[in-house]
Chains A and B, each alone.
Chain A
Amino acid sequence: MNLRPCTWTWLVLMGLTLALLAVGKAGLGGVGIVTLVLLSTLVKTQLVADYFMGLKRARLLWRAIVTTYLLLVISMIGLAYWLSLF
């Protein structure tokens, strides 16, 4: 199928969101599930940055700022979750 990269991106984002809803509806939690949820959030946001915001074609610095931000924020959310277990 000859779809535009932005259309593939949109389909992946929709699929991951529906998977997230299924996790939420099932009331799933725990380290494993939260790790998967955070990894999928990282993938989704990087896809938006690369293919929707157009950062994949911009100079590396512009993309690195957003990627660093996403890694920092999402890993800190994971750290806070891990701390909540003790």
Chain B
Amino acid sequence: MNSSVQHANGRYPPGDFAIWIFIYAELLAFGIFFLSYAFARANNVELFNESQLLLNRTAGAINTLLLITGSYFVVRAVAAIRDDKAQLCSRWLMAAIMMACAFLAIKLVEFYTKYQEGISLSTNTFYMFYLSMTFFHFMHVILGAVILAAVMLKARNGAYSREEHTGVETGGSYWHMVDLVWIILFPLVYIIR
């Protein structure tokens, strides 16, 4: 029994079993990052609050909207392949990849702006966390976009169907994890003060 069918029976989450082990490991890594930031901030409140004011909250919020919308498009892609509509699935995936690319472009502008301002990992503790956490997440967005692109090409070539679409669900589950951790990261780093 493939995992698509198993999911339909309400047993396993969508996608390959291995991706869920990977997702839980990634959540753990991000969780350690988040708590390290939160407790470091508790000891340097003024520094963190002052440094946070220099971040572009609008860019952070737009990036959140882009990731959420990308995740929504992936859900629609999975729904399309469950209806045996492979071409529609690939188009939803393409839309999700566009959201990922827009996120990466905005984040690159943010990184470049900070670089122009002479800010680096060694500037202070806040920026050490900000740059390392957001760059770590940035790399996950790149990986997620590459996975979605590979799945999109396979869907376009008719590799998935109503009966077998584990690959679409696996790529989608990974992408949702990337979205989920950003939903925590955004208020933690950009908003809470």
Contact = CB atoms under 8 A, between A and B. Distances in A.
Interface in A1-33: 4, 6-7, 9-10, 13-14, 17-18, 20-21, 23-25, 27, 29
B39 interface: yes
A57 B186 contact: no
A18 to B, nearest CB: 7
B137 interface: no
Given A20-B61, A23-B191, A66-B27, A45 B180 contact: yes
Interface residues of B, number: 50
Contact of B186 (A20, A51, A59): A20
A34 B43 CA distance: 17
Interface in A68-84: 69, 72-74, 76-77, 80-81, 83-84
A70 B61 CA distance: 21
Contacts, number: 134
Of A17, A27, A66, most B-chain CB atoms within 10 Å:
A17
**Interface size classification for chain A:** 35 or more
A48 B65 contact: no
Nearest to A54: B14
Contacts of B79: 4, 6
A17 B59 CA distance: 12
Contacts of A80: 35, 38-39, 41-42
List 10 tightest A-B contacts by C-beta distance, closest first. A80-B38, A21-B61, A84-B42, A10-B72, A58-B13, A24-B57, A29-B193, A24-B191, A54-B14, A6-B75
Interface of A: 4, 6-7, 9-10, 13-14, 17-18, 20-21, 23-25, 27, 29, 34, 37-38, 40-41, 44-45, 48-49, 51-55, 57-59, 62, 65-66, 69, 72-74, 76-77, 80-81, 83-84
23 contacts: A6-B72, A9-B72, A18-B65, A21-B57, A24-B60, A29-B192, A34-B192, A37-B192, A38-B192, A45-B184, A48-B176, A52-B179, A53-B177, A58-B7, A58-B10, A59-B12, A62-B12, A65-B24, A66-B27, A69-B28, A73-B34, A77-B35, A80-B35
